[in-house]
A and B are shown apart, each in its own frame.
Chain A
Amino acid sequence: MSTTADAGAVDPPVNRLRNVSLGRYSALILLALFFVYFGLIDSTTKDVFTDGSNIKVTLAARVTIGFLTLGLLVPLAAGIFDLSIGAMMGFASMVLAWIEQENRVPGGVFGASVVTILICMVFGWVNGFLVVKLNINSFIATLGMSQVITAAMLWRSDNQRIADVFSDEFQDLGRKEFLTQSLSVWYLLGAAIVIWYMLEYTPFGRKLFATGGNPDAARLAGVRTGRYIWTALIISSVMAALGGIVFDMRQGAASPQTGPPLLFPAFAAVFFGATQIRNRPNVWGTMIAIVTLAFGAKGLQLKSPGVWVEPLFNGLALAIAVAFASYQGGLRLRRKRDPEVPSGNLAATVSSRTDLDVDPSG
């Protein structure tokens, strides 16, 4: 056996070149293209686009979505969707405002934030209960939860926004700058590092991915998959709460309308990100995706202002990125499913067709 062991191997250099697929870096390439086009070529945008303040504003505007995407990543690693994260974020921002309004929690705004996070964790716990104990599909359970949260929020707030309850010191935490960027951007970076460490460098993260990769196999390897799913949903609720708190810092006001519309852009960034760098949900791929989407939308808005630009851009960029990554990754899409490979975790689902076409022979 040993004499023939290497007969099938191709020279390493060739091998390496082949394995680098541009699709894995399409977000970075796109980002560069945006800077070249909007920053150097297009005369209507080129004065503004590369301006330091434009960069700062563009990045800071994405911090809330950034927290949501980090929150989505964790359950997605375990193959679970959390559709309540948008509503949860809006809810958190309202809860913080209410507590500040009533002013009954000791410890000032810090105490209020802790209470907000704890309340969101309870909702995350309930999500976990529905999914793990009652065995409800996560898509449905969290969709239901998002409606319940929205209802609670509307009932309590009468659909009114709350302003003028946050102190200047609190708002400074979101508005002040550090190394040319808004402080909130650094908070997001900090959270990203924590999630990255957790997913990639702890047994917890590995088991989470295993749960997403094949829950039955993971269970037989001794992973308590239910616990991991449950924990993941609690972590995503914490990220939603943090997103809400940072939102309040930056805006100085809370409104029941803020959360839900952020769900799609957050999902778009996570799915886009899951095609980047490595073919599964990952923190830095997602962060790059957010930045790319942010600058792409910004450039288009500078050219032709209109609120419709951004959703259109998000949708198109997502579809194109996923298609590009699948194509480059050599995954065959049409009628060519590998008969030996079950559809696996999210990354595979994202980058191959998700409809149930039937292979003709196998």
Chain B
Amino acid sequence: MSGSVLEIRGLSKTFPGQHALINVDFDVAPGEVHALVGQNGSGKSTLIKILAGYHDPAPGASASVTRQRRGGELTHLRLGDARAAEEAGVRFVHQDLGLVETLGAHENLALGAGFLTNRMGTISWRQEIKRARAALADLGYHIDPRKPVKELSAAERTGIAIARALQNWDRDVELLVLDEPTASLPGPEVERLFDVIRTVKERGVAVVYVSHHLDEVFHIADRVTVLRDGRKIDTVPTSTLDHDKLVELIVGRALYAEFATDLSEGRAGGRKVVLAARGLSSSSLLHLDLDVTEGEIIGVAGITGSGREEVARVLFGALPRTGVVQIGGVHVVGDRPDLSVRAGLAMVPADRKQVGIMPEMAVRENMTLTDLQPYWIQGLLRVRKERSEVSTWLDTLDVRPRQTERLIKTLSGGNQQKVLIAKWLRVKPKVLVLDEPTQGVDVGAKADIHRLVDHAAEAGAAVIVCSTDTEELVRLCHRVVVMQRGVARAVLTGDEITVDRINQLQLQVAQEATA
């Protein structure tokens, strides 16, 4: 096929005990946005990582890039070579971004594009910082480039990774590959990313776009390729599909009407308050008051910088705070996660890679760390008992593969997320705080997780969901708080909770903020 920017043939990959990709062909046409979708563990990231040279493929695969910017010159890629794709004009934003956490944005950008030097041959930091600031501003981010990346929010980090990938894009980028760039971006920022994608697309750069948000796929993609269990199911123009058909392609069967359930009938009235927060302040929150009753699910929305990113960690006591948090009338000390856990608080953090998983430890060890007492019998940690409980949870959440002893880092992103949720659900917390609970989770698993959250609430837990996924808030919550500049600016209840209303409010307050 001569009309492709990227052409992959016969790509297979086997990890110990598992086929991640089986004989996949994949083509990207010039200037198109090509969505790559599939359930957790279907092989999307693996395909991308092979292209980027992090994994070697099984023998027999081939790939080539046609360089539109060089008069259609054909380059055969040596798959598994870390430089090959880069040199052929392919740029990546990986699922977990791959930034150097301790360096600032300017250094991270420079590492991608080469350092700017002055006449003496030393690095000119002033120029670097200027360049970084400009590149980020182009994407609509106003971040101090010198701030270490680890201190930034997930959305800001995504911005930096995208800015890095797009450096010099009008000169030598043919193809931009984005692996779940929106997993932790709030609605308005997704729009901004789409603007960027449209701009590069107009200039002839093709885009491969991985996402579990199917509405985004319909919004931005020209064609979509579906992977299921490592096999390519089909590549189709999005215009010939609708949401349900796409879901069917992904899951292999129709998903029952999951999103239609109505749970928002007068829950809060007359119930016992489990969590009471008064005057919570932190570096980005200002006197937040919050009451959550048993069985209630409260949503927290807001654009990046609104304080939404910190609500979960401040409530849980993972960040320094002032103000009062009480659970069942009992005061909980801040900045002491161990005491919070003992008081019945649980938090699934948004930043899975940095503060969620222990990458070199088994799934089992990751899951049971929150409470080892049940296996500590007569002076011995009973691993067999532990394993069987973990197994049950893997079944409940459909974590794949069902291996308790596998290192968690070898699970796909969405499956890691499920393990982190199970880790807290198993201790039956009184207050469950979820920060981006379904980031990077596929449609089927998302429905599973939502159902589990419902169950936890029905069993009497107070649940707080901080999310950039507006549909998720609508699906789950009885009340939704919209944040602006560290303050709760609006509270929606009942019928007011709609995607449009929340997005509109987020944007509106954002505009007020900049005005």
Residues of A whose CB lies within 8 Å of any CB of B are: 1-5, 7-10, 15, 18-19, 200-203, 205-207, 209-210, 213-214, 216-224, 279-280, 330, 332, 335-342, 344-345, 347-348, 356, 358-362
A8 touching B230 in the complex, CB below 8 Å, given contacts A336-B54, A344-B409, A359-B82: yes
**New A-B contacts (5) at CB < 8 Å, excluding given A10-B14, A360-B112:** A201-B380, A206-B368, A209-B361, A214-B359, A342-B359
A sample of 10 cross-chain residue pairs with beta-carbon separation below 8 angstroms, ordered by A number, consists of A4-B229, A5-B398, A8-B400, A206-B369, A216-B354, A339-B94, A344-B359, A359-B82, A361-B82, A362-B98
Question: In the complex, what's the smallest C-beta–C-beta distance from A18 to chain B, in angstroms?
Answer: 5
User: Which residues of B line the A interface, CB within 8 A?
Assistant: 14, 16-20, 39, 41, 45, 49, 52-55, 82-83, 85-86, 90-92, 94-98, 100-101, 111-112, 228-230, 251-253, 316, 318, 337-338, 340-342, 347, 349, 353-361, 365, 368-370, 372-373, 376, 379-381, 398, 400-402, 409, 413, 423, 444
A31 CA to B156 CA in the complex, in Å? Answer: 53
Chain A residues near B55: list those with CB within 8 A.
Answer: 336
Q: Determine the chain B residues whose CB is within 8 A of the CB of A336 once the complex forms.
A: 53-55, 82
- In the complex, what distance in Å separates the CA atom of A9 from the CA atom of B14? 10
Q: Who on chain B is nearest to A16 by CB?
A: B17
A202–B376 Cα distance when bound, in Å, is: 7
A256, B52: Cα distance in complex, Å: 55
Given known pairs A1-B444, A7-B229, A359-B82, the reply for A345 and B16 (CB within 8 Å) is: no
Residues of B within 8 A of A356 (CB): 100
Task: Tell whether, in the assembled complex, residue B358 and residue A213 are in contact, meaning their CB atoms are under 8 Å apart.
Answer: yes
Residues of A within 8 A of B349 (CB): 220
- Asked, given contacts A210-B358, A210-B365, A222-B342, whether A340 binds B229 with beta carbons under 8 Å apart, the answer is no
Determine the residue in chain B with the shortest Cβ distance to A222: B341
Contacts of A5 in B (CB 8 A): 398, 400, 402
Q: Are B359 and A341 touching (Cβ within 8 A)?
A: yes
Which of A8, A332, A337, A359 has the most chain B CB atoms closer than 10 A to its own CB? A8
B16 contact set on A, CB distance < 8 A: 15, 18-19, 330
**Given A342-B359, A360-B82, A361-B91, A223:B369 Cβ within 8 A:** yes
Q: From the candidates B97, B111, B230, B380, name the one contacting A358 in the complex (CB within 8 A).
A: B111
**A220 CA / B357 CA spacing, docked (Å):** 10
Residues in B with CB closer than 8 Å to A3 are 252-253
Task: Say whether chain A's binding surface is mostly helix, strand, loop, or mixed.
Answer: loop
Of the candidates A221, A280, A358, A361, which one forms a contact with B360 in the assembled complex, judged by CB atoms under 8 Å apart? A280
- Evaluate contact between A348 and B360: CB separation under 8 angstroms: yes
Residue of A at shortest CB range from B228? A4
- Taking CB atoms, residues of chain A closer than 8 Å to B39 are 1
Asked, given contacts A8-B229, A222-B337, whether A210 binds B41 with beta carbons under 8 Å apart, the answer is no
Q: Are A207 and B369 in contact (CB under 8 A)?
A: yes
A361 & B358 in contact (Cβ 8 Å cutoff): no
A279: shortest Cβ distance to chain B, in Å?
7
Chain B residues with CB under 8 Å of A9's CB are: 17-18, 401
Residues of A within 8 A of B83 (CB): 335, 360
| Known contacts A210-B369, A348-B360; A220/B355 CB under 8 A | yes
The residues of A that contact B52 with a CB separation of less than 8 Å are 339, 361-362
- CB contacts (< 8 Å) of A203 on chain B: these are 372-373, 376, 381
Question: Is there contact, CB below 8 Å, between A218 and B358?
Answer: yes
> How many angstroms from the CA of A203 to the CA of B372 in the assembled complex?
6
Residues in A whose Cβ lies below 8 Å from that of B97: 339, 362
B358 & A335 in contact (Cβ 8 Å cutoff): no
Q: Which residue of B lies closest to A334 (CB)?
A: B82
Q: With A and B bound together, what is the CA distance between A338 and B400 in angstroms? A: 20
Q: Give chain B residues whose Cβ lies under 8 Å from the Cβ of A358.
A: 100, 111
Q: How many Å from the CB of B30 to the closest CB on chain A?
A: 21
A214-B355 CB under 8 A given contacts A4-B229, A222-B337, A361-B82? yes
Contact of A361 among B85, B251, B372, B423 (CB under 8 A): B85
Given A222-B337, A224-B338, A341-B359, A10 and B17 contact (CB-CB distance below 8 Å): yes
Bound-state CA distance A19–B402 (Å) is: 16
Q: Give the chain A neighbours of B365 by CB distance below 8 A.
A: 206, 209-210
Contact between chains at B49 and A223 (CB < 8 Å): no
Beta-carbon contact of B82 and A221 below 8 Å = no
| In the complex, chain B residues whose CB is within 8 Å of the CB of A348 | 359-360
